[in-house]
Chains A and B, each alone.
Chain A
């Protein structure tokens, strides 16, 4: 295009001024209530609050100046849905526009928030949130129950993490609606069902993935909060994202920032456990090996001594003395024996000598008998002598032994005679 045909133009500044005028004088863009969720929230040190308001279709920068926000009754939060009263202003230097906020109301949630606060107070008074009611999670849950939507993000996340950590885990899902009408009842039903003994569940994870405040509201419902509290099986509340804290978190034994985190808290990594067992076993094996080795070396130490290595060296000398004595004894013994044997050999035939001894004794005996027979009174009596005794049998050898008229006995060879003494004459 040639310079001679230069069209009419305005500067950027003039154009922006026009825009600013159009925008800022338009009633539709001034003092309007706008609904959206807060993102990129910054509480600046100057006291101004900056954030982005957002909904499904668009975003707009927002500034809430110190003078305007000083009466704000609550703290703005990331993701919070609000109604903001404000006016659009154009920021020439940056070519941008923003909403300059004069007042903020919580969008609907304000009312719900109020209800939650009241419920929280009531349940706190019942000590439902007390730490003394918190059950310890099992160290090794073999069977895990899930109460969540079977088609949601949470169930996938949990199963994925669970199988990665513990390949042979058992999972039982109690399907539940996690948002909208009737969600609370299905969650309560699921928790109660999984508490039945027949399922032998070690741990329950109940929850859902992220969503709006309203989406998560079922986990603030009294029946649901109570079901978490009443669960006999240890239960983890795993709702939404890190920033979400429904009352189920307070009533559960443990709460997790997200469903995946719940699975990580609940399920140990099997390989780690195997490693730990093997490490401990290896340790005790080494210890017992060292122990037995130390005993072995002590034994070696002892058996290594001379007495065990060469016991005969020590006993050898005594052995020599002993065998010397033995030899001497044996020789002496032999000598004694041979002398005795010799003596024995020279004894004549013993029966012969005994017999001759007996015969000679017999002969002597006969001679003595014959002599005795000669001396026997019977022999004397055979020759006509008799034996005279008094009445008591005493021998009468003298006339002095008898008196006249005394009765005396006379023994003959073939009998006895009794007689009276008539007279006695001493010769």
Chain B
């Protein structure tokens, strides 16, 4: 159950929601089927909203440690300019 939910992409869910709307609009569905479709629609709507909130705003830059290990370092950015606030201590490459 959880696995299939993970597998489903936002795009698939949105498409399914569209299809449900289409079926409800054009399909000759009985009341029971219509309600089943509607319930599916509610679930998909919730899934889509959850999916949009899944990511967490985070900007990271990869840096190579003294041991050669690459690690992600969180950095702050200015929203208005997109500029990374660094103290001139960021490496320019991973080499």
Contact = CB atoms under 8 A, between A and B. Distances in A.
A168 B25 CA distance: 34
Contacts of A171: 58-60
Contact of A159 (B38, B45, B84): B84
A300 B30 CA distance: 18
Interface in A317-354: none
B72 A284 contact: no
Interface in B41-95: 41-42, 45, 48-49, 51-63, 70, 72, 77, 79-84, 86, 90-95
A172 B83 contact: no
Interface of A: 138-140, 142-143, 149-151, 155-164, 166-177, 182, 185-186, 189-190, 193, 199, 270, 273-274, 276-277, 280-281, 283-285, 287-288, 291-292, 295
Contact of A163 (B38, B48, B77, B86): B77
For the complex of A and B, 9 pairs with smallest distance between CB atoms: A160-B82, A159-B82, A186-B93, A139-B11, A142-B55, A287-B24, A156-B82, A288-B38, A140-B10
B54 A295 contact: no
Nearest to B31: A295
* Among B56, B80, B95: residue with most chain A CB under 10 A: B95
A280 B21 contact: yes
10 contacts: A139-B11, A163-B57, A167-B57, A170-B58, A173-B61, A177-B93, A186-B94, A280-B45, A284-B17, A287-B25
Category for how many chain B residues contact A: 35 or more
A142 B83 contact: no
A193 B72 contact: no
Nearest to A170: B58
Given A142-B55, A287-B21, A274 B94 contact: no
B90 A172 contact: no
A175 B56 contact: no
A142 B58 CA distance: 11
A120 B63 CA distance: 33
B24 A139 contact: no
A280 B9 contact: no
Nearest to A163: B79
B69 to A, nearest CB: 12
Contacts of A295: 31
B48 A284 contact: no
Contact of A284 (B24, B62, B70): B24
Given A140-B9, A167-B57, A284-B21, 16 more contacts: A149-B92, A155-B82, A163-B77, A168-B53, A168-B57, A170-B56, A172-B61, A172-B62, A173-B61, A175-B94, A185-B95, A186-B93, A186-B95, A273-B10, A280-B41, A281-B41
B33 to A, nearest CB: 10
A155 B51 CA distance: 26
A193 B31 contact: no
Given A176-B94, A277-B14, A277-B45, A150 B61 contact: yes
A150 B90 contact: yes
* Among B9, B45, B55: residue with most chain A CB under 10 A: B55
A287 B34 CA distance: 9
Contacts of B20: 284
